[in-house]
Amino acid sequence: MGNILIIDDDAEVRETLLSLTRRMRHEGEAVGSIAEGLARLRQGGVDVVFLDVTLPDGNGLDALAEIKALPDSPEVIILTGRGDPDGAELAIQGGVWDYLLKPSPIKETMLALERALKYRDGKRGACGTKALVMEDVVGKSRAMRACFDAVAGAAGAASSVLITGETGTGKELFARSIHLNSARAAKPFVVVDCAALTETLVESTLFGHKKGAFTGADGDRVGLVKLADGGTLFLDEVGEMPLNLQKAFLRVLQERRFRPVGATQEVESDFRLMAATNRDLDAMVEQGGFRSDLLYRIKTIPICLPPLRERAEDIKPLCVFRVGQLCEQYGLPLKGFDQDFFHVLEGYPWPGNVRELFNVLERAFVASGTARTLYAMHLPQDVRIKVAKASLRRPAAAGNGSLPEVRPGAPAVKQPARAPLYATDASAAPCADSWPELAQALGETLKSCKDVVERRYLEVLLKRTGGDVQKAVEASGLSRSHLYALLKKWGLSADGPGVGSAEPV
């Protein structure tokens, strides 16, 4: 028996779903707003949520991230009164179980609920009590918790894994974590750096060779593929693999058999394949730079690691972890951190991600000498200069006209600089005197003011970027999915002839 929560502002829909739930011998509760629904979900004990999209206090899709971040988060079935392909895409990306259009047939609704509950039961049964071994993996953000869940799922499977992400996000570290938590943990983890493979020795390196197979082959050599027998073969930077090798490697993946250079007989290797790349393999397939059949073989379980700039809340724990390692390495007492140290780091865009952060931390550690506290002044000048310039390019805060506080070492900056949305001419920016909606909202609640400003911001953003979604994402600092969700919330269109061309969701 499951516990079902219905979040819908339509009393008739709530009653219908409650009746259906009880008929199926499940417990049911119903609320009419996102706030009430989240309050109930935080108490725990809910297995499936029927979530409406259009609610009095916001868009149900906006609450997905918070719902999925809850401990033992429930399965979510979206309910909507209008078909919306973009909304369905956002919902699926957010991890929902199903997306139903109201009014939905009773049989279809019952089937969706039964399957969601069955899936949840199976997922619980598959979860053992063994804790994940995550050596040197640090993170507490929602994005990282999702990655940890992906590691747990991949560790319990035997399928191929493709890990994507920008340079320095820790792709090899996650591959090792999957290996350490899998049934092959006691066997070798063999790394193949595809970017370092030379045309002349690539087959010998991967498949090995027999003595005398070519000039310089003074003895037999076991290739990396055979060394991974029983364990994991990790193809780092798989997007750099030459096309001629891709074809040869495809057969190895299919048969788990290959012939060393100069050998007359094939040998076997029982390995699990993992691969990583910072390139867009789908785009490479379209351009002819990567074989589609090989991509299908290596992309059974895809895991995408987020860049550090999208998980700023992980910077502090990463600093504590790395500086602790350095203190142990140099035999020094643990160092503390001044708050400005974190402010500067959080204002830097980190193009090199965690790898660059660790390099900067080591430089700051060395610069601090025997000091017991790391200050912003210990950070490399190039980092502090970039953060300072970014803060100066940002429009000055409106209000009392006072200068922002400047702390010793560097300004307290938390976000990378963005191009100003409004023109530099002060008359171009809206104010309460020429903005009746804002003037009216100023006499109401803070939420009313925020709503007015949020909608106007999006309208100006679309006008300034000409409805170009990519330009709007870059200018606003929002993710593409978040931008779409806000546009849906206010009934704005990024690809129509003008703003406001879409009806409210």
HEC string for 174-187: HHHHHHHCCCCCCC
Distance between alpha carbon 354 and the CA centroid of its chain, in Å? 14
CA distance 92 to 130: 29
Q: Pick the more confident residue, 300 or 197.
A: 300
Record the tokens describing residue 176, joined without a space. 């090792």
| Rg of the chain (C-alpha set) | 27
- The pLDDT, as a whole number, for residue 198 is 76
- The pLDDT, as a whole number, for residue 428 is 41
Strand-pairing partners, residue 235, are: 192, 275
Angle 142-155/171-180 helices, nearest 10 degrees? Answer: 40
Going by C-beta distance under 8 Å and a sequence separation of 6 or more, which residues neighbour residue 140? Answer: 313, 314, 317
- The pLDDT, as a whole number, for residue 306 is 93
Q: Which range among 241-250, 319-328, 339-348 shows the weakest confidence by mean pLDDT?
A: 241-250
Identify whether the C-beta of residue 238 lies closer than 8 Å to the C-beta of residue 280: no
pLDDT (average), residues 316-326: 95
CA distance 484 to 473: 10
% the chain with pLDDT above 90: 40
- The pLDDT, as a whole number, for residue 418 is 47
Q: Is the peptide bond before 103 cis (omega within 30 degrees of 0)?
A: yes
Average confidence score pLDDT of the chain: 82
pLDDT band per the 50, 70, 90 thresholds, residue 497: very low
Cα distances from 100 to residues 10, 73, 78, 104, 245, in angstroms, run: 15, 20, 6, 6, 46
Going by C-beta distance under 8 Å and a sequence separation of 6 or more, which residues neighbour residue 170? Answer: 137, 305, 353, 354
- 328 phi/psi in degrees, rounded to 5: -65, -40
Q: Among candidates 95, 109, 28, 36, which has minimal Cα distance to 61? A: 95
How many residues comprise the chain? 505
pLDDT band per the 50, 70, 90 thresholds, residue 197: confident
pLDDT band per the 50, 70, 90 thresholds, residue 353: very high
Domains of the chain with bracketed CATH: 3-126 (3.40.50.2300), 142-305 (3.40.50.300), 316-393 (1.10.8.60), 426-490 (no CATH)
Burial of 10 (0-12, 13-18, 19+ CB in 10 A): middle
pLDDT (average), residues 65-70: 83
CA distance 159 to 139: 25
pLDDT (average), residues 33-38: 91
pLDDT at 322 over 90: yes
CA distance 310 to 143: 8
pLDDT at 335 over 70: yes
SS3 state of residue 331: coil
pLDDT at 167 over 80: yes
pLDDT band per the 50, 70, 90 thresholds, residue 125: low
pLDDT (average), residues 279-297: 93
> Mean pLDDT highest for which of 57-61, 289-293, 411-415?
289-293
Max Cα distance, the chain (Å): 88
pLDDT (average), residues 386-400: 67
pLDDT band per the 50, 70, 90 thresholds, residue 130: low
Q: 412-430: string of b/e by CB count within 10 Å (b at 16+)?
A: bbeebbeeebeeeeeeebb
Helical H segments across 94-228, by residue range: 106-126, 142-155, 171-180, 202-207, 224-227
Going by C-beta distance under 8 Å and a sequence separation of 6 or more, which residues neighbour residue 87? Answer: 53, 61, 78, 80, 99, 488, 505
Ramachandran area for residue 279 (φ above 0: left; ψ -120 to 50: alpha; else beta) = beta
